[in-house]
Amino acid sequence: MFLAVASVVGFKLPTDRASWTKVLLFGAVGMVLPNLVITVGQQFVASGTVAVIAATMPIHTIALLALFSSDERASLLVISALVLGLGGVFVLAGPDLSNFGGERSVGVLLALAGVLGYAFQAVFVRTRMPNVDAIALSFLLSLTAALVLMPIAIYQLAHDTRWMNEGQAVGSVVTLGIFHSGLNFLLWVWLVRNVGAIATSLNSYLVPVIGVVLGAAVLGESIGLHTVIGMTMVILSLVVATPRSAAGVRAGPGKTVLLSPKVDALERPHKHLLDAVQCDDV
């Protein structure tokens, strides 16, 4: 997938040792561990609980940015919108929260660790690798993570051959690999650089909303009053936070970032995507 995109827009590999070191170390550790621990954690907790835990990502992102960077600060309005959205996720996931804690505490802790890792990913890409070509960065991080996980995957596939008789499962893995781990990650890198880590982290609020909509459309699940209220809170938080996250993000005393033409990418991303992924300074 990355090669197909690169053949259209082109890309530049890093030329300095420092960038290569960051990319390889981050790909091997920062990309692998969050996905691994949250996948294990999901085996022990209800989906609603995971949705609430995932929705704490913007809060982790703000905290990490405050600790490690002065490049991006959230305004009071954005923080208020984050709290509103988190409350909406709690309302959406309400029926599934009865199993929170107890023997499922390990799963909760693992899921929290995974979400914290995702927040760290956004902060690291935003603050430590701003000059690495977006397509090259996406490709190298994914490739490094795949190479690290390959021995484990080969071992699992060799000892559990049920997948050979499950064509639908294989198709699902291929689809997730192309769109979720490929195209989606490329767009995520672009968003982190153009919109900011905080605004990008708001996508975690959409997970339960999309889940509810697909559940109703595909599985015929009912939508109750709490679902409507929760979705309204989440959507309102996104409307409030996303447009102002660029204007309300500050870099140091008296400075404001993302008040360049990049802000326009928030409104017309299709116009700027190809330009953004080709620029070293994006």
- Looking at 26-35, 77-86, 175-184, which range is the least confident one? 175-184
pLDDT of residue 15: 81
Kindly report, residue by residue over 199-208, the tens digit of the pLDDT: 788 777 777 7
Instruction: Report the range out of 5-14, 140-149, 171-180 with the highest average pLDDT.
Output: 140-149
pLDDT of residue 190: 81
Read off the pLDDT of each residue in 154-168 and give the average, rounded to a whole number.
74
Report the sign of the C-alpha dihedral through residues 51, 54, 58, 59, in that order: positive
* Whether pLDDT at 254 is above 50: no
- pLDDT band of residue 44 (cuts 50, 70, 90) is confident
- pLDDT band of residue 248 (cuts 50, 70, 90) is very low
Instruction: Report the range out of 8-12, 155-159, 168-172 with the highest average pLDDT.
Output: 155-159
pLDDT of residue 280: 40
Kindly report, residue by residue over 55-86, the tens digit of the pLDDT: 778 888 888 887 777 666 667 877 888 788 87
- pLDDT band of residue 196 (cuts 50, 70, 90) is confident
Instruction: For the beta carbon of residue 214, count every other beta carbon within 10 angstroms.
Output: 11
Read off the pLDDT of each residue in 19-37 and give the average, rounded to a whole number.
86
pLDDT of residue 41: 83
* Whether pLDDT at 147 is above 60: yes
* Whether pLDDT at 279 is above 70: no
pLDDT of residue 11: 66
Better-scored residue on pLDDT, 50 or 127: 127
pLDDT of residue 129: 79
